[in-house]
Structure 1
Amino acid sequence: MDAISPELELTDAELHLYSRQILLEGWDIEAQERLKLSNVCIVGCGGIGCVLAELLARAGVGKITLIDPDTIEMSNLQRQLAFTPEDLGFYKAEILAKRLRQINPHVRVESINQALTTENATALIQHQDLVLDGCDQFAIRYLVNQSCVKLNVPLLSASAIGFQGQLFMLEGDSACYACLFPPENQADESLRCADSGVLATTPNVMASLQAHHALLYLGLGKMPLRQNFLLWDGLNFKQRILSFQKDTDCPVCQAR
């Protein structure tokens, strides 16, 4: 690993804060310093994004950019742990950013109260070390995937609906989200929490798994879900990991 510049070395306060992680066999000060050097972008500050962002902030990821155009509604409070009734009507990204700064003042947080679009995706994604997708709209999910493929930025994408969740990683020349789910087969936007329902714990389980994988990648360079797809069945408390390959006809990753 390259030498860490003095201003990016862990302070005494940070060493104390992250001491339980640094004590782990297989995780050391260098892994923690790699976290501090990392920039991540979270697309969606709802059920998945809230817990994901908090876990990464507590763990010591250096900079977190939050992207979400939505404001907080009463129905969000059932599963979106960062928010309270006093936050109703405020932007999710702003309130979540405020909470993260309170939790860990050593982490830099930026909030973007706008939707990810074809116009701003490159500027928001191109300098990230990892993009974390937790949105509930297929169109945005495909845009995130397409942008990460184009810019060669690693992506961890998680979703949750009902009792079920999914998680996969795009990295380098691996298969992309469109290989798994061709866009022409995913036109039903009704498959969202607002329309289909979701158990309070489902997005939080998926957020924890996504955060765990992110820490393994950022701190240790591990990618257990590269070319693999995790399926969580919360109703029957079962988990499966399926291997998959690139689609030779994929319009996204085969076109670059």
Structure 2
Amino acid sequence: MADLSDEELTRYSRQIVLPQFGGVGQQRLKAANVCVIGAGGIGCAVIPALAGAGIGRLTMIDGDCVDLSNLHRQPLYRSREVGEPKAALAAQFVRRLNPFVEVDPIERRIDAGNAPALLTGHDLIIDGTDNFATRLQVSDAAVRLGVPLLSAAAAQFQGQVGLFRGQPCYRCFVGDAFDSDDCDNCAELGVLGALTATVGSFAALMAIRVIAGAGEETTGRVYFLDGLTGEWRSMRLPADPGCKACGTQPLPLGGEAPRSGAEGS
């Protein structure tokens, strides 16, 4: 278990004092290696929360640059940074926020071919990308690698967050109908910045709980937020025995997933 310095004990004292968390929970966060895919609307809430909480190592994968239309929902970036790579800017933010967090920014777009290599070695993957093709490719790789996946998405006034570990997987949830690159995303559907912040913060809370071992097990449960009513609901997912990722005939590791929207980037 990772040791905590006096400065870290002071920095994290407000969460260490929580009886469900404590020093052991903080040590688990420090020892964790978490990958955040997408430094967009979802990622801009997830990244500060995890860095502030004391995750030991954060890998951030995003091949996009800041666009003016991003700024209403991506508060890590400024107008003067339009055109600069999101992953590098997010890494700069984390280094300023918490010097105890190791940062690995990857300025690449993740796909079925490179996902296994990029995701290997992580304790948890958080996917906040904005299209089904990428989300399904990430999920398929997570299943093969045996790494838990937190999937978070938001579009228009609807948000969802789910934790997947083995069976059921994200593909069991959405099926194979979204394996194309032309599915709708937030650019077509629209999204509120406050919604992506809410969904991303909830995903970060779930990530901290999973890593620290606090609270009940929520694997296979998806949470839905209706931004127009303010109501949350959840459902437990059954595993699909015919799922091509976690079912009886899974795809080979690194193989081509049939190609696959909600907000993230």
Shorter-normalised TM range: over 0.9
Q: Which is bigger in relative contact order (C-alpha 8 A, separation at least 6)? A: 2
For residues 151-190 of structure 1, what are the structure 2 equivalents within 5 Å?
Answer: 151-171=145-165, 173-185=166-178, 187=180, 189-190=182-183
- Residue 20 (structure 1) aligns with: 14
2:48 aligned residue (54, 57, 65) = 54
Correspondence 1:109 to 2:103: yes
> How high is the TM-score relative to the length of structure 2?
0.91
Residue type matched to 1:148 in 2?
A: A
For residues 135-150 of structure 1, what are the structure 2 equivalents within 5 Å?
Answer: 135-150=129-144
3-state SS in 1 of match to 2:154: strand
> How high is the TM-score relative to the length of structure 1?
0.94
The 1:78/1:95 distance shift into structure 2, 3 A limit, reads same
3-state SS in 2 of match to 1:47: coil
User: Is contact 1:136–1:192 with CA below 8 Å preserved after alignment?
Assistant: yes
- Residue 71 (structure 1) aligns with: 65
Q: Distance in 2 between matches of 1:100 and 1:149?
A: 29
Q: Distance in 2 between matches of 1:224 and 1:238?
A: 22
Q: Distance in 1 between matches of 2:245 and 2:37?
A: 19
- Residue 195 (structure 1) aligns with: 188
2:218 aligned residue (220, 225, 228) = 225
Using the TM superposition, give the Cα deviation of residue 243 of structure 1 relative to its aligned residue in structure 2, in angstroms.
1.2
Higher percent of residues as helix: 1
Q: Percent of pairs identical after alignment?
A: 37
Q: Distance in 1 between matches of 2:230 and 2:55?
A: 30
Say what the alpha-carbon RMSD is for the aligned residues: 1.4
Correspondence 1:207 to 2:200: yes
Q: Distance in 2 between matches of 1:79 and 1:189?
A: 23
Residue type matched to 1:127 in 2?
A: G
Stretches of structure 1 lacking an aligned partner (at least 5 in a row): none
Q: Distance in 1 between matches of 2:91 and 2:128?
A: 16
- Residue 250 (structure 1) aligns with: 243
Runs of 4+ in 1 over 4 A off after TM superposition: 185-188
